[in-house]
Amino acid sequence: MHNKHSWAEPYKIKMIEPIVMTTKEFRQKALKEAGYNTFLLRSKDVYIDLLTDSGTSAMSDRQWAGIMMGDEAYAGSRNFYHLEKTIQDYYSYKYIVPTHQGRAAEHMLSQILIKKGDYVPGNMYFTTTKLHQEMAGGTFVDIIVDEAHDPDSLYKFKGDVDLNKLQKLIDKVGAEKIPYVSIASTVNMAGGQPMSMANLKALRQLTNKYGIKIMHDMTRIAENAFMIQLNEEGYADKTVSEIVYEFNLLTDGATMSAKKDALVNIGGFLAVNDYDTFDKARNMVVVYEGLHTYGGMAGRDMEALAIGIKESVQDDHIRARVGQVFYLGQKLLDMGVPIVKPVGTHGVFLDAKAFLPHVSQDKFPAQSLAAELYLDSGVRAMERGVVSAGRNKKTGEHNYPKLELVRLTIPRRVYTQAHMDVIAESVQRVFEKRDSINGMKMIYEPEYLRFFQARFEKL
């Protein structure tokens, strides 16, 4: 049923936000002032902004109408009960604690469930998730399938857990040292790769045997469900909404950054099925975020989120969203540009090592490529390579990650197919002149999360 027509957007445009087209001279100057770091560019100087898909979605007229229906009562806001019911009906979880965004939910979950000396296995890591697990005294262990680390592997569910890796960890440290398995749908750091239902079912069986919980980072659950519908046997005739529900039912609770799939600019929540964890979180949220019926959100934001959740799991919406990302990915593949395969659901990742084989990793190929792309067309991308990986704490040397990538992240419902064409053409122009790109030297390096504020000079 979902193959009846092409992936055209199931909406039309009612309001527009002008963006500026700049000259090359202008961009040259702006880039120099930003120290050749796309994080330091001003948004007003960017033509097409692919820095992130977080909080950058366009809301619908229904969501904006919801904003006007905000009930800003300090306690017991009507919008909270709408949000709570929506999460129960669409996501299956019983108890909900709203937060200002995803990391606040991660903080509470980690503090409540992790004890010092515990291990938290996960399907690769996410920056904030892992940090909160470590701050609670836990040690993160990567149990994702090996294929996830290989940009050329065409494996369809690179977000899958390797059950042997989990079994080995259980045998080594004991199940009582593992409070939960942390799974993400989809896996951001692997390039937006999905986890299969079959793998989650097998994981559920194994964890049940040992009484280990499964906690779900459901930031991109709709995109993951769409990939299950598209590629997993037995799911072609189920709706994305049904698949989302079934997936969540196999887990014990979730943290959500609503700034991604749920189509809002700010928001998040912790959702769990056991009352004890809920009770602790509800008590903790008043210390860090706000009363348990608003967390860190205004009433209007909870209303927009409740509506956004319902829109996000509609088949036509998610097909168009992922379809647009695939369109850009396919275009780049046809041009012979090296990218991570299969194309992810929220962005296309350029393989900077293959793109600029003559630039050694200590000359920051991905950073250089992101800078050249902005210079060429005003398209802003993000480095995910040696700069993001930081330095080894003991030796002080750069960490050299296997994947040296430039992420072209596509905001939801924001850009058109013509924008995708412009992006692809710009990448192609930079690809054609790649021999003239010589890498960069870092001239300023902050101590923490250096990728945000580091400055560079061209070589």
In the complex, the residues that contact ligand PLP under the rule CB under 6 A are 54, 101-103, 126, 128-129, 184, 188, 217, 219, 257, 259-260, 268
Closer residue to ligand PLP, CB minimum distance, 63 or 188: 188
Could you give phi then psi for residue 85, rounded to 5 degrees? -65, -40
Q: How far is the CB of 308 from ligand PLP (least distance, A)?
A: 14
Number of Cβ within a 10 Å radius of residue 324: 22
- Contact call for residues 366 and 404 (beta carbons, < 8 A): yes
Q: For the residues of 270-309, what is the DSSP string, one character each?
A: EEES-HHHHHHHHHHHHHHT--TTTTT--HHHHHHHHHHH
Q: Out of 45, 118, 160, 217, which one is annotated catalytic?
A: 217
Q: Out of 247, 374, 415, 451, which one is annotated catalytic?
A: 451
Q: Out of 127, 146, 274, 429, which one is annotated catalytic?
A: 127
Q: For the residues of 162-222, what is the DSSP string, one character each?
A: -HHHHHHHHHHH-GGG--EEEEESSBGGGTSB---HHHHHHHHHHHHHHT-EEEEE-TTHH
Q: Out of 220, 384, 407, 413, which one is annotated catalytic?
A: 384
Dihedral angle computed from the Cα positions of residues 114, 116, 117 and 120, in that order, rounded to the nearest 10 degrees? 20
**The residue count for the chain:** 459
Q: How far is the CB of 220 from ligand PLP (least distance, A)?
A: 7
Q: Helix 365-377 vs helix 417-432: angle between axes, to the nearest 10 degrees?
A: 120
- Contact call for residues 218 and 185 (beta carbons, < 8 A): yes
Let me know if 276 is a catalytic residue. no
Q: How far is the CB of 269 from ligand PLP (least distance, A)?
A: 10
CA distances from 431 to 100, 350, 357 (A): 40, 11, 12
Closer residue to ligand PLP, CB minimum distance, 159 or 439: 159
Q: How far is the CB of 128 from ligand PLP (least distance, A)?
A: 5
Closer residue to ligand PLP, CB minimum distance, 82 or 260: 260
Closer residue to ligand PLP, CB minimum distance, 126 or 364: 126
Q: How far is the CB of 397 from ligand PLP (least distance, A)?
A: 28
Let me know if 260 is a catalytic residue. yes
Angle at 197 between CA 195 and CA 202, to 5 degrees: 100
User: With DSSP H G I counted as helix, E B as strand and the rest as coil, what are the percentages for the chain, rounded to 5?
Assistant: 45, 15, 40
Let me know if 226 is a catalytic residue. no
Let me know if 451 is a catalytic residue. yes
Let me know if 45 is a catalytic residue. no
Closer residue to ligand PLP, CB minimum distance, 57 or 101: 101
Let me know if 162 is a catalytic residue. no
The tokens describing 98, both together, are 């709203």
Residue 371 identity: A
Q: How far is the CB of 138 from ligand PLP (least distance, A)?
A: 16
Let me know if 409 is a catalytic residue. no
Which residue's beta carbon is nearest to the bound ligand PLP? 102
- Contact call for residues 111 and 172 (beta carbons, < 8 A): no
Closer residue to ligand PLP, CB minimum distance, 188 or 193: 188
Closer residue to ligand PLP, CB minimum distance, 126 or 247: 126
Q: Out of 260, 300, 319, 341, which one is annotated catalytic?
A: 260
Select from 425, 357, 353 the least CA-distant residue to 383: 353
Q: Out of 126, 245, 294, 355, which one is annotated catalytic?
A: 126
Q: How far is the CB of 431 from ligand PLP (least distance, A)?
A: 28
Tell how strand 405-409 and strand 347-351 pair up. Answer: antiparallel
Closer residue to ligand PLP, CB minimum distance, 50 or 337: 50
Q: How far is the CB of 55 from ligand PLP (least distance, A)?
A: 8
Contact partners, residue 174, CB within 8 Å, separation at least 6? none
CA distances from 73 to 95, 299, 351 (A): 21, 8, 49
* Residue positions annotated with a catalytic role: 74, 126-127, 217, 260, 384, 451
